[in-house]
Chains A and B, each alone.
Chain A
């Protein structure tokens, strides 16, 4: 199914490219040109790097001091839009981002058609289809502990740690895919960066550099999340949806390198 889904735009692309090539050079085989692109995720709290483990702690607007022991999330369904309006969809596009000793994590997307891209979009979370189709493989293998066994569905984001002043542990396991406002925590991130362009070529890998300001998890657009008031959220529901609305604001496209 997935292959077929992919095959249609591929054939269209091949047809387009072959026409061009034939005009230019009748003897050459029409092979479309592919390259790669990197989404670079730089995790910060305002302007301080966030790593795990981390010796320091970060102060929220509510005055709580946050130390992280875990920050994992799913970045999925990546699409790139070229300046001619064509959309490229990454095949099997499921990335599990697990913050560790380096605050910058690169996602390398392969087999991207050569083009000048001006926009990117992706989900933070897992689409509903992949929540209800049985255990998946790779990044979505439930062995990665980003899956609820008792209330099926993927955990989109897992943030764990401690509030330093009170010693209160926090555990935020956020997910929920059902098609209702109170339980659907799937969030889309989209950046249109024109007139900047990410120029994908066979021998050129552009970088989309995203800042991921994890403070937004606590001080976001939907709510001021306080460990003292809500130390544990580990099921779908309105609280999870609000936290998801907060953390979707973590992502900002900073610049594009070519």
Chain B
């Protein structure tokens, strides 16, 4: 399936190239142009595209920006630095995000996909709008470490960016708003909806084997209230009993409420086999560890989510195997491989 899809894209690319080489007016290959497309089996997205209508030009511009180190202070790193396609746009090599000057942030860098459905961003929900999201990594001194005025100056001095923004948004001068809207176009197009689980939902009953289907039933009974299908998150803030005391105050950092101490946004479990390490602090390196935590390791934190039993669900060895098998069926076949999402400069 994967290979067939990639082959299809490659063929279409060649057709396009041939078309451009041979004729003045090639038929545009609409189906192959990257643009946000909501999957039919997903609910309505949270982000309103009303002021930022998806277009191939805007998406291509966002893609160019995402992979351009011009967004960092010393032009050393791009967004891909912590969000790699093969890992579902996460960083599997570092427990904590790392930025310019060998500096480290304080949380695990999240996987990027299905972002248009997120009502708020970051593990503590401190970012309240999709278009605000890229401001944080660009300006954080531990990440790309630049300031927006300088980034805009740099972009405005590059004629091809001026032309791209003019073409995509009709502006003569690049400002924060259009910069963010372009990045959002590309990031919104990182849609994960093509796993074997999705094929199963869409009626292909053999897409999941019996162990995986058993895992799905267990998942729905014990995990699905927070990791709600089909996005595998309800985007609420909860404590999952990692420890009695947390170094990171989580949601409380934003709301200042003691009842929000050590609550973190429920992460999606799609592509989880690609997005190690796990938890807000990257403290678990394998899915086996994660399942063991929910089976027997849940600590009695004062804000522990009421749906979680102290001490864990006590899954049997077989049940743990079934859950693991199911979680691995959530790996997307398109997202990590789609050449349209890759670095356009490579």
Contact = CB atoms under 8 A, between A and B. Distances in A.
A142 B148 contact: yes
Nearest to B149: A143
A182 B256 contact: yes
A199 to B, nearest CB: 37
A135 interface: yes
Interface string A136-174: 110001111101011111000000000000000000000
Interface stretch (B18-26, B121-129, B158-166, B280-288): B121-129
B130 A134 contact: yes
Nearest to A236: B256
Nearest to A147: B135
B260 interface: no
Q: Give the size range of A's interface with the partner.
A: 20 to 34
A152 B128 contact: yes
A150 B129 contact: no
A135 B139 contact: no
A126 B340 CA distance: 40
Contacts of B140: 149-150
A55 interface: no
Contacts of A142: 132, 135, 148, 176
Given A142-B135, A142-B176, A143-B176, A152 B149 contact: no
Contacts of A236: 256
Interface string B253-264: 110100000000
A134 B139 contact: no
Interface in B163-181: 175-177, 180-181
A25 interface: no
Max chain B Cβ within 10 angstroms of own Cβ: one of A134, A141, A183, A237: A134
Nearest to B129: A134
Contacts of B91: none
Given A150-B140, A152-B132, A134 B256 contact: no
Given A134-B129, A182-B256, A237-B256, A149 B136 contact: yes
Contacts of A149: 127, 132, 135-136, 139-140
A141 B152 CA distance: 11
Given A135-B176, A137-B175, A152-B127, A145 B132 contact: no
B149 A134 contact: no
A151 B152 CA distance: 22
Contact of B254 (A132, A135, A137, A151): A151
Interface of A: 131-137, 141-145, 147, 149-153, 182-183, 236-237
Given A134-B181, A135-B177, A143-B149, 20 more contacts: A133-B129, A134-B131, A134-B132, A134-B177, A134-B180, A135-B131, A141-B148, A141-B175, A141-B176, A141-B177, A142-B176, A143-B147, A143-B176, A145-B148, A145-B149, A149-B140, A151-B126, A151-B254, A152-B126, A183-B256
9 contacts: A134-B181, A135-B180, A137-B176, A142-B135, A143-B147, A143-B149, A144-B149, A145-B147, A149-B140
